[in-house]
Structure 1
């Protein structure tokens, strides 16, 4: 009996270890580039200011995992040996960047243990998605096979769900995946107008009051964050507040603030608020961006469009409005 119990424990440990290993993704990150690679006789889509037009018969040179040069016509000779690939009849485009993305933060929606998209608090600017991302996610190689080489990981839930992180879709650990750990902070902007619908149980006046309270709450919180950062700069011994400390780069306009806003009222009020405070806004969502082009142009605010494969906002919009 004494010998039987250790044997049972040994088998249980072995089975548990096997289950853990089986649950990991079978993806193997690529090895670092060894040598120079030249792709020639290929159709290039550079998508850059230096080369805004398509190059029908071009070449491109890679070294140390980066593009070092490209051009039209015959490929130049390189120093030393190089792997040359004939791209005749093929097209070459830059790797896509998926933004906003939750790849690696959510695996199975029905299993809460695989969902790291949100924190429990309403304001969590210190939450960094690069730490929470699962490098063994089966969705990472799927995204990579579709040409998505980088993502902008964006958390959700609450007024300030957290930071954004730029991740590469290749690596063994979260440190390998992280290109930019803190690319900015996300702010969910309140609705700008009341909703008149059968399912809405609150009247317009009550909704307007809720919107005003949320806007005032955002202002008070950012006032406190600015005050703490100013005090911390004057006196480094002040007690640390991780939430306010994480807001520092945004408050100093060193990093952008990603504002989730869809309606015209949301976009216009969010841009006015950011301008008044001296922040660098990036609109995320932008369903009604086409209705406020002049405001966006004057503010020079970038827009990340989401849900482009959806129906138009109203019946008088063109059918291709979401993605045109």
Structure 2
């Protein structure tokens, strides 16, 4: 018993210690003028030697030789690059801190059908991980519940704030479904027979479709004023039927993608395919039907013996060539999403243009989350969520983020990685 108590107390202290000490930025109190930088506007091209002015959290002017308003803070960013904040999609940021400590893992809810779960309610704004991903230019992240058949709803949060309310950019944007497996798992750890797997796959698909039947019945009853009570599960899905919410389907195999597309068309849902490793195989269909793809496999080995060694890297270029509307994500992760910009840069090495790559981690994710009118590009009237880098943000060796602002508030770029670096560089 004494050992058990000691273990619990130690775990409690380890969790408590995993909180960063960076204070969220104060709301913008004076105009800020960045002078002479190279602006990567995303929507209006690259503008060299250009100034950008923002006041009260919004961009008010862009151009050469702008006059500084009274009481303005003027920052020389000559020979530096100014980008809109990067947006990381399909993440568990703030939902998990230490994988080996179960008490810090809040990525999923108990049950198989949990659409009422909202990712932002479990979000920990004090996570040590958050400052490390800000340091690579990420100002916003989509927080997504995981693993259940119907996992819940996702929200887009800023990466600086005291609470999720402070950080909220868009809450409960869509319902997330993990599409049942369409084929057989041949991995060494699979112990079920082929017949058992087929039966389980069919049962999962049946349960998924039944959940939507029940949700639609609930919606129809609500519209008719005949509900006898509130079911929080189906209440969370009503937005799918009235068009105010999106259906995010997590799937990789071509058969899964095709099943999901047919299902969304039958139901009349706005569909976003997430992960979508095999999207290149049906790129023409995705383009023709204007289906949004969040490509989440920018790195990885081939999944079939007849695939090219670089298929994962070349897929973004193939999607772009086919005219598919897509964003790039860094799988489903939290600490590793700091490499989002580098994943986009890697896609450039395999045929994607730099303009398309930058759009795939800025304006395209903003479109997915329904906030492209506010963030995702440098434009007058949009929120001043941006950062300044010494070099190309998509280059491992050249980039060095030096300043960041979210809604005009300057963000503290200190982080655990930098602290440890400064500590151990002094070690004899």
Q: What is the TM-score when the length of structure 1 is the normalising length?
A: 0.86
| Count of matched residue positions in the alignment of Structure 1 and Structure 2 | 303
Q: 1:61 aligns with which of 49, 53, 60?
A: 53
1:39-50 correspondence runs (5 A): 39-48=34-43
Equivalent residue for 2:30?
Answer: 35
Distance 1:237 1:99, change over 3 A: same
Q: Distance in 2 between matches of 1:159 and 1:183?
A: 18
| Aligned with 1:122 (options 99, 112, 115) | 112
Q: Is it true that 1:90 corresponds to 2:85 in the alignment?
A: no
Distance 2:135 2:233 in 1: 37
Of residues 204-213 and 152-161 in structure 1, the stretch that sits farther from structure 2 once superposed is 204-213
Q: Is the 8 A contact 2:37 2:82 kept in 1?
A: yes
Given that residues 165 and 181 in structure 1 are in contact (C-alpha distance below 8 angstroms), is that contact kept between their aligned partners in structure 2? yes
Shift of residue 144 of structure 1?
1.2
- Work out the CA distance in 1 between the residues paired with 2:291 and 2:181: 20
**Partner Cα distance (2:191, 2:227) in 1:** 49
Determine which of 146, 150, 154 is the counterpart of 1:164: 154
Alignment of 1:169-318 (within 5 A): 169-196=159-186, 199-235=189-225, 238-318=228-308
Which residue number corresponds to residue 5 of structure 1? Answer: none
For CA contacts below 8 A with separation 6 or more, give which structure has more relative contact order: 2
Please, what is the CA RMSD of the aligned residues?
Answer: 2.2
Q: Is the 8 A contact 2:18 2:97 kept in 1?
A: no
Q: Per-residue displacement from partner, 1:21-80 (whole Å, max 9, x unpaired)?
A: 7654211000011122121211121112xx1x2223322222222333434xx2333554
1:173/1:196 Cα in 2 relative to 1: closer, same or farther (>3 Å)?
closer
Instruction: Work out the CA distance in 1 between the residues paired with 2:210 and 2:91.
Output: 29
Structure 2, unaligned stretches of length 5 or more?
Answer: 1-12, 315-428
1:267 CA drift (Å): 0.9
SS in structure 2 at match of 1:223 = helix
Q: Which runs of 5+ in 1 are unaligned?
A: 1-17
CA contact (8 A) 1:183 1:256 kept: yes
In the aligned structure 1, how far is the partner of 2:285 from the partner of 2:22?
45
Are 1:264 and 1:292, in contact at CA under 8 Å, matched by a contact in 2? Answer: yes
Q: Higher Cα Rg: structure 1 or 2? A: 1
- Bigger Cα displacement from structure 2, 91-100 vs 20-29: 20-29
Structure 1 contact 268–295 (Cα < 8 Å) conserved: no
Alpha-carbon offset, residue 237 of structure 1: 5.1
Structure 1 counterpart of 2:310: 320
Deviation of 1:308 (Å): 1.6
Shift of 1:82: 2.4
Q: CA deviation at 1:193?
A: 2.1
- Mapped contact 2:68–2:74 kept (Cα < 8 A): no
CA distance in 2, matches of 1:272, 1:128: 26
Structure 1 residue 317: Cα displacement: 3.2
CA contact (8 A) 1:105 1:117 kept: yes
2:62 paired with 1:70: yes
Q: TM-score, normalised by structure 2?
A: 0.66
Q: Which residue of 1 aligns with 2:361?
A: none
The offset of 1:141, in angstroms, is: 1.2
Instruction: Call closer, same or farther: CA 1:157–1:57 in 2, change over 3 Å.
Output: same
